[in-house]
Amino acid sequence: MATAVRKTNWFAIWISVGVVIVLVGVVAVVAVLNSRATDPGPVPAASGINRETGAVTFGKGPDKVSTWVDFMCPYCGQFEETEGKTIAGLVDDGSITLEVHPVTILDRQSQGTEYSSRAASAFYAVAEADPDNAYAFFRALYDNRPEEQTPGLTDEELIKIAKDSGVTMTAKLEKSIKDHEYVGFAQSQKLPEGATGTPTLMVNDQLVPVTYDPKKDILANISSR
């Protein structure tokens, strides 16, 4: 009985090889894009900045007050106006440890300039370079808070506010602010579980509804008062 001689179908083999190469390439591209999407870029390096949570810490008191704020948020501005003085006093007298978490949920409200991210990046840069004056800069950002649906403050205006707050403006710090060095890190920060917007307030790791009354929101929930 005669046996047929099989011919190798090189065309089909090369097509298969080509498909595999393309698929490998697609997987590699997707992996790179995903890596870029999840990479926050430069991370500020200072003892007062938590690299995991993004919190900037002020004070060393026994009670912990944590806030999540957006530098363009009008309600955060109201919170700072009504409760900021009380919080600052508690930091100064050693009653609390304050953790400030900048978030960037209102970038869409600044006509494409990403003001929330730029301001948060500037805050991180100042907290890294001149931590002793970072809280004064934080409060000044709310004294000069731009309205929603505006471009927000320019980088030059942020630098001026920092200087006016007592921050030592080195060439490195100025470059960091202008280069938006920590925008990626700021944009990677999230609200805590259970939060619905800004401002979000936690006292000793418990969510506290914001009523804009420091006696109810802060003083009633700390052990030192």
Q: What is the CATH number of the domain that holds 164?
A: 3.40.30.10
Full residue range of the structural domain in which residue 30 is found: 9-39
Torsions phi, psi for 142 (to 5 deg):
-80, -30
User: 40-44, 48-52, 91-95: which has the minimum mean pLDDT?
Assistant: 40-44
Q: Which two tokens stand for residue 223?
A: 């052990």
Predicted local distance difference test score (pLDDT) of residue 89: 98
Q: Are residues 83 and 189 in the same domain?
A: yes
Average the pLDDT over 36-48 and give the result: 81
pLDDT confidence of 14, banded at 50, 70, 90? low
Instruction: Report, as an integer, the average pLDDT of 142-151.
Output: 98
Around Cβ 25, how many Cβ atoms within 10 Å? 10
What are the tens digits of pLDDT across the range 95-127?
A: 999 999 999 999 999 999 999 999 999 999 999
Q: Which residue spans within 49-105 are E strands per DSSP?
A: 56-58, 63-69, 96-102
Task: Tell whether the model's pLDDT for residue 16 goes beyond 70.
Answer: no
- pLDDT over threshold 50, residue 210: yes
| Whether 123 and 174 share a structural domain | yes
In terms of Cα–Cα distance, which of 116, 124, 118 is closest to 100? 124
Q: Which residue has the tokens 């930091």?
A: 91
Instruction: Quote the number of domains for the chain.
Output: 2
Task: Name the band, by pLDDT with cuts 50, 70 and 90, for residue 37.
Answer: very low
pLDDT tens digits along 71-90:
999 999 999 999 999 999 99
In a domain, 50, yes or no: no
